[in-house]
Structure 1
């Protein structure tokens, strides 16, 4: 496992092997821990709000109690017992309490002089206590203040203010938080355990599929969707696609072996016959004749093998959908024909070309298209006969680009035109040796180019083969085509 992976994955996968179960739990554990942290913040905030509400109510009640004591007409502004009760912390939390009593005519009468209500409170005489925040001795305090009539001096008013530090409020909020955290942690742990078992039980749905695949030996049939959970359908359908490609490759391999055995059996048998003939009669004439037959049979076997390999390549699934590039047949075909002029002269055939003044663009592969053209020319040069003419033409219309190869040879009877392109099919009565694979290779290469092959009689009685390519899908012209 890579060191760059998150520490949580390294913790959950100590053996370095990936586990879907552990990875799912890892994705769940982090949000659950975050939820616990967020819930703790919410709980503490709520507890602090509740604690402030309770203490504010008690603080206002304290201010009202002091005001009633002053209105009872006790001696002096406030008794020593009252001072003690105002400043006493019954729970011993070091929660510091303050108070002040101020007269409108005589100023501060008792308590902390710095504890004066701000002017913005706009206190009314004998009204409800009002709360505010203040600072005393560099401590933040919460205070309640109210104004009452003085019973000792008519016309005078007294401002009563009581305050306390925030320590006790925060302490109460922390106590509530500490009480709630174990319950929340226990709930999250229970959810995590339930998820653990839920994941384990959920993954057991894969057991029938696993058992079904394990029971296979050489079966490449599709898995199907019968007992496959919806979540892994994309995976099984991808595997089915792989099985389909494997079946195609195996079928292609079996067909190649069968074709090779069928086509090479006759040349190999002939080779054995002529070798035994030369061994039984070592005279120069017999040996020379046997060697001539062996050479022809060897060339035939070589050509058959080459054609079989070419057909196999043409039939193989196309692995790279982007192998085709923009190609100008108007430039490509003449370049390829120039390479076959020597073969045409040797066969005594007049090879010509009829092209277009403008480019003829298609989406194609240069290598396989060259093989297509070579097989069409081989077929024409072989069967047209000496003294004949072979014309290669490129035409274009709204339906696409058409490549045609036409000769004026003996042609093919109309009854056999539909069978051209079949593997190993040769027109009856033909005296030329061949494998019957050339036009089959043309057919397969055309299919890979989404092209259509058409066999018709030529204008002068020979054979005309047309390969119609669809219009190019790429708009940008390839200058190298």
Structure 2
């Protein structure tokens, strides 16, 4: 089942920038509201100023030019009348001509008002003094354009600031996460030979202190457990090998003494096999305890010929192969693997011995190799009893043996093989053989 992983660094950067975007967007909305209010106020003041100038100033002098400049700059139309006589009007009369001025005067109760005409909103201002009447109008679209230009300018500035903030936050958080990466490297460097306490970089991050303390406690407990296991292994090796060796010697003496008595010799031979099996179980247990699949670098490796190794394995198992009259079909290419010759020999011997044990009498064992672009594999198959799905799922577990099996064994051979292949950065797979028995497939990296 795959697990979905996320980057804490990316989430922190996103959260920081997102909070800034939300705050900036809110500020932009407030700014838009303030800018709209100020723009409306400024334009209303200009319209009021134009009206005052029209009512009180002599338009024949400089005031007239100033009114025209303001009118043109802010797209404001005006008209000054005395009763029904038009005294002056703006140069561009298009804006005024679109409005029904008499109706505008009748419907306007306030100095400033809004009007909808010709699919747009107008702002108008009416003022009267000493019989004079001035009407000042302006389409609101020009105010909206000014507000939009101001908002776009601020939005562009905000966008630049957000991008700059993203770069700064990404850089600063990345620098802080280097300490976590250093801590991760220190943890990854720990192995069975180095379980000393982790010393975090200075200054130490307060949030990481509880985790580092718990890791150091865990390393201390693991170290104590390994020491206890090593002592137990050494003691078990000494205490178990000594009596087994003594029994072996006494059996040899008894076999020579009673070799003339066939019935007793058979019993002694059976005892001899039981003792040998017990010795092999002990050796397998000790080997299994010493192997560490994560400690690949400490393994002494060299170029090993698979063909030579398999020939040695078959020679060592020749008596058992001949006893069951097994036919071995070999198709081995001259390939080499980078590994430990002793461990690989033990692995292949276990697998071939397992095939010999479970193959049918006068059956066949197939041994072949294949080479791929980056890997090479060794396949060992037999024509023994068909393997069930339940058995396939549990092959490689310690001490597991299929129910109903009539062959002798400790159930450790395949688990040891699995560990040995893992030490060589490879994998071992179990499947039903086309011939009816079990097929073991070993995949190892190609030796470049």
For the pair shown, which has the larger CA radius of gyration, 1 or 2? 1
- Report the TM-score, using the length of structure 1 for normalisation: 0.40
Higher helix share: 2
